[in-house]
Structure 1
Amino acid sequence: MNHDSYPDYYLADILRSTKVIALVGASPNPERPSYRVMGFLLRKGYRVIPVNPGQAGKEILGQPVVARLADILEPIDMIDVFRAADALPSVVDEALALDPLPKAIWGQLSVRNDAAAAKAEAAGVKVVMDRCPAIEYPRLVA
């Protein structure tokens, strides 16, 4: 996949087929982009599971926070990554240890690591990087 640009159908298919999202790097701070995007996704009807080891056991926007992807006890359709780009390889490794695998890993704005993307894609997981689902959703789905 060319990660410099994505066909609209590729992004729309991910957004339409996704029901459960693990939001890695979720913040309880209403000023943080992850908080605002999580609220947007919840309002659009997605089930969003916040992932943040420092907030595990608490709630963000009424959703219980888990420490790691492995702590989620249901299949994940998409992992939305609000971490620095250099953290993407470890998120991909965590994701590839899940059973079943997520359908997609979505790196937020400025989150891009081509080697991590290639590893996920080789395992059959779709990858989007340097995009925000809260920007793409109104453009492609709403």
Structure 2
Amino acid sequence: MDNKTTHLSDEIKREILQNAKTIMIVGLSPDTSKPSYHVASFLLEKGYDIIPIYPKGGEILGKKAFTSLKEAFIDISKKGVKCDIIDIFRKSEALPLVVSEICEIWGLESSMKDSCVKQSEIARDLDSNYNDQHSVVKLGKLDSINFAPQSPAPTQMVENLDSNSHHIKRSEISNTESKKDFSPMAQNDKILESFNTNNPCIWVQLGLHNTEAAKIARQHGMLYEEDSCIKLEYMRIFSK
């Protein structure tokens, strides 16, 4: 495990904290002397709803504590509640397992696989007509190129699709693809576009860091912040 930690920009963290309503806290302790308890108390004071994850269950800060992530997600799913942030208080070495479980429960793995298949199909369609001015693209595929929902790029000129042949200019797609920014920050910004209706942000508390966990989160399109106290970051960002 290296020493390089993963952080989101202040702009993204501000957006996340402003839009979030429900925060699941993994490893929240009922011990009033523990950092997790103080952080949870602070979040409640700021108007967030918290969902404690504690192996022994019971009740913490007046909220039902769930014994596992799966149990908690099943419960909020039945209630139609969306989890916006998952704040983790676990040892660094346990982070890959926790993050993997989150991604599996959230159903991102299968979604990403489906997205990859669709991207391959589109690439194959384009390559098969490399020397042609036009390439045949099945209607509806353009909207499923990326996992995060987004509006069609202006250069795709969707309105020019022929309703009978479903042709679109290869140059229009190529221009769009060539302008893509694959830097970590650009990818975070793209994911943030669908933040309110899709992926929760994984927030790993101060002093905790694991490169593998960060990689797993990114591979599944999850916003990921580590070695960072959500309470202190809230105070710092909104005091500006």
Partner of 1:70: 70
Q: State the match for 2:212 in structure 1.
A: 115
Q: Say if 1:12 and 1:45 are closer, same or farther in 2 by CA, change over 3 A.
A: same
Match of 2:161 in 1: none
Q: How does 1:59-138 map to 2 (within 5 A)?
A: 59-72=59-72, 73-74=75-76, 75-99=82-106, 102-138=199-235
**Secondary structure, counterpart of 1:116 in structure 2:** helix
> Which residue of 33, 36, 40 maps to 1:34?
36
SS across alignment from 2:106: coil
Q: 1:15 aligns with which of 17, 20, 43?
A: 17
- Give the number of the structure whose alpha-carbon radius of gyration is greater: 2
Cα distance change of structure 1 residues 110 and 119 upon mapping to structure 2, 3 Å threshold: same
Aligned partner letter, 2:44:
L
**Does 126-135 or 97-106 show the bigger shift?**
97-106
Extract unaligned runs of 5+ from structure 1: none
The residue type paired with residue 129 of structure 1 is E
Q: String of CA shifts for 1:13-66, please: whole Å, max 9, x gaps.
A: 221222111100010111000000000001111110000112x1x110000000
Q: Which has the higher strand share?
A: 1
Higher helix proportion:
2
Is the 2:23–2:85 Cα contact (8 Å) retained in structure 1? yes
CA contact (8 A) 2:6 2:225 kept: no
What is the match of residue 52 of structure 1? 54
Aligned length: 139
| Whole-angstrom distance in 1 between the partners of 2:59 and 2:103 | 26
Q: Distance in 2 between matches of 1:70 and 1:4?
A: 26
Q: Cα distance, 1:3 vs. partner?
A: 3.5
- What's the C-alpha RMSD, in Å, of the aligned pairs? 1.7
Between the aligned partners of 2:212 and 2:41, the Cα distance in structure 1 is 30
Structure-2-length-normalised TM-score = 0.55
Query: 1:51 & 1:34 partners in 2: Cα distance?
Result: 11
In structure 2, the CA distance between the partners of 1:3 and 1:12, relative to structure 1 (3 Å rule), is farther
CA drift at 1:99: 3.3
Give the drift of 1:5: 4.8
Task: Determine the C-alpha separation between the residues in 2 that align with 1:21 and 1:138.
Answer: 17
Determine the structure 2 residue equivalent to 1:141: 238
Structure 1, residues 76-122: CA drift from partner, whole Å, max 9, x if none? 11110011111111110110122366421111011111111111111
3-state DSSP of counterpart to 1:21: strand
Task: Give the structure-1-normalised TM-score.
Answer: 0.90
Question: 1:4 and 1:120 mapped to 2: Cα distance?
Answer: 11
